[in-house]
Amino acid sequence: MLFEKKKSGEEIDYNFFWVTRFQLIECAGCENISFLESYGDSFMMTGNDHDGIEYYENAKIYPPYLKNGEELKQDLQIPQNIRNIYRETVNAFKIESLLLTAAGFRAVIEAICNHLKIKQANLADRIDLLHSKGHLSKSESRRLHSIRFLGNKALHEIETPKPEQLVILLNIINHLLSNLFINDKMMKDKLDIVVDTYEEFTIMLQKLVKKEISGTDVTIDSILGKSKHLVSKKNYTIFMETFIKEVKAGKFDFLKIADETKELFHIKSVPKLNSTLEFDI
């Protein structure tokens, strides 16, 4: 305890007393600072035949906190709309609004589907599409259905879930959001990441064009160097066919085809990259 202010009073005629404590406290583990308000009076007692009567106090801690489970610490990596719903849901759990928490976790899944452009009539089909389109494993898909079931009961049957059930849901959602939006961004520029979309391929290619090769004729293989292993052979063939078509159409102003039979490209300048050219989900 860092500081305490206490107020108390009594009514002698009724043998009644009360006390309210206001305390500034610090967690012995994480050193987080909180405000504790506690109240007790002479009617607040409990006891049994073995220990006798004991007085107790009701306590409130501000700001509210998760009694079990943890919220994501890197949630700024999550798309804003999903992040907003996630934070509102976690805040509902902190104040033990259990129905709203269950509904909120279901809404997080809906928001993820919207972001990934998974459009279908109902959430059950959308979750299955998340798996079939490669965003989730089969096990992850089954877990999301469990969240859907609990959310449906909360919304349609007004059935309040148990706190321990919601802790499990929180862990599932945290794992899902980490896999979809956080882990790859944390790995970026630190570990090699597979390039499996044409957009990622062209971004990587432009980032690898250096000033030293400006004005020369080079192959795409020589530009990519060791980074070529990030692209599968199948995808590389497909990506190159599309890339050559787009170069001919003038989509890329930093190079032109020098000799198509030898797959030589003339580098006119270093590409001007902007902040939107990032690997993203």
What is the 3-state secondary structure of 106-124?
Answer: HHHHHHHHHHCCCCCCCHH
User: Would the pLDDT of 280 be above 60?
Assistant: no
Nearest CA to 230 out of 207, 197, 186, 275 is that of 197
**Final residue before a domain boundary, out of 187, 213, 247:** 187
Give me the number of domains the chain comprises: 3
What pLDDT does 1 receive?
Answer: 83
- In a shared domain, residues 170 and 92: yes
What pLDDT does 48 receive?
Answer: 65
Neighbours of 97 (CB within 10 A): 15
CA dihedral 5, 11, 12, 17 (to 10 degrees): -40
Confidence of residue 13 (pLDDT cuts 50, 70, 90): confident
Mean pLDDT across the chain, nearest whole number? 89
Kindly state whether residue 276 falls inside one of the protein's structural domains. no
What pLDDT does 278 receive?
Answer: 47
- In a shared domain, residues 177 and 81: yes
* Residue bearing the bigger pLDDT, 47 or 206: 206
- In a shared domain, residues 54 and 141: no
Kindly state whether residue 127 falls inside one of the protein's structural domains. yes
- In a shared domain, residues 135 and 232: no
| Single-letter code of the amino acid located at 11 | E
- For residue 207, the enclosing domain spans 198-267
Nearest CA to 227 out of 257, 259, 191, 181 is that of 191
**Final residue before a domain boundary, out of 187, 207, 232:** 187
What pLDDT does 50 receive?
Answer: 67
Euclidean distance between the first and the last CA atom of the chain, given in angstroms as a whole number? 45
Taking CA atoms, 189 is separated from 204, 207, 225, in Å, by 12, 12, 16
Across 44-53, 55-64, 102-111, 255-264, least confident range: 44-53
Q: Which two tokens stand for residue 273?
A: 């990259």
Query: Would you put residue 28 in left (φ > 0), alpha (ψ -120 to 50) or beta?
Result: alpha
Neighbours of 36 (CB within 10 A): 15
- In a shared domain, residues 87 and 168: yes
- Mean pLDDT computed over 117-131: 90
User: Would the pLDDT of 97 be above 90?
Assistant: yes
* Residue bearing the bigger pLDDT, 64 or 100: 100
User: Would the pLDDT of 281 be above 50?
Assistant: no
Kindly state whether residue 173 falls inside one of the protein's structural domains. yes
User: Would the pLDDT of 187 be above 80?
Assistant: no
- In a shared domain, residues 182 and 79: yes
Q: Which two tokens stand for residue 106?
A: 């279901």
Judge whether 208 and 225 are in contact, CB under 8 Å: yes
What pLDDT does 275 receive?
Answer: 43
- In a shared domain, residues 128 and 218: no
Kindly state whether residue 192 falls inside one of the protein's structural domains. no
Kindly state whether residue 193 falls inside one of the protein's structural domains. no
Peptide bond into 63 cis (omega under 30): yes
Nearest CA to 173 out of 78, 94, 100, 64 is that of 78
Kindly state whether residue 277 falls inside one of the protein's structural domains. no
User: Would the pLDDT of 240 be above 60?
Assistant: yes
Kindly state whether residue 250 falls inside one of the protein's structural domains. yes
- In a shared domain, residues 100 and 157: yes
Taking CA atoms, 220 is separated from 130, 223, 229, 238, in Å, by 34, 5, 13, 14
CATH of residue 179: 1.20.120
Crossing angle for the helix pair 123-132 and 138-156, nearest 10 degrees?
170
- In a shared domain, residues 162 and 79: yes
- In a shared domain, residues 172 and 202: no
**Final residue before a domain boundary, out of 163, 187, 211:** 187
How far apart are alpha carbons 179 and 173 in whole angstroms? 10
Kindly state whether residue 82 falls inside one of the protein's structural domains. yes
pLDDT tens digits for 143-183?
999 999 999 999 999 999 999 999 999 999 999 999 898 88
- In a shared domain, residues 243 and 222: yes
User: Would the pLDDT of 76 be above 90?
Assistant: no
pLDDT tens digits for 191-236?
667 888 898 899 889 989 999 999 999 999 999 999 999 999 999 9
- In a shared domain, residues 147 and 79: yes
